[in-house]
Chains A and B, each alone.
Chain A
Amino acid sequence: MQSSGLQAVIEISKLATRFGEHVVHSELDLEVRRAEIFALIGGSGSGKSTLLREMILLQRPDSGSIRVLGVDLQELGDEEALALRRRWGVMFQHGGLFGSLTVNENVGLPLREHTGLADLLIDEIAAWKLAMAGLKPEVGAQYPSELSGGMMKRASLARALALDPELLLLDEPTAGLDPDSAGGVDALVRKLRDLFGLTIVMITHDLDLLWQVADRVAVLGEGKVQGVGSMSELSRMEHPAIRRFFDGPRGRAAQERGERSSKPR
Chain B
Amino acid sequence: MAGVKPVAFAWTRGQVLAVCVGLAYLAWSLAGMDVSAERLATGWEQGARFLGRLFPPELGKMDELWQGIQETLQIAVLATAAGLVLSLPIGLMAAANLSPMPLHVAGRALIAACRALHPVISAILFVKAVGFGPLAGILALVVATVGFVGKLFADAIEEISPKPIEAMRATGASFAGVVLFGVLPQVMPRFVGFATYQLDSNLRNSTMVGIVGAGGIGGALFAAFLRYEYGFVATILATVIAIIVLGELVVNGLRKVLDV
Are A and B associated in one complex?
no
Seen from chain A, the residues whose Cβ lies within 8 Å of a Cβ on chain B are none
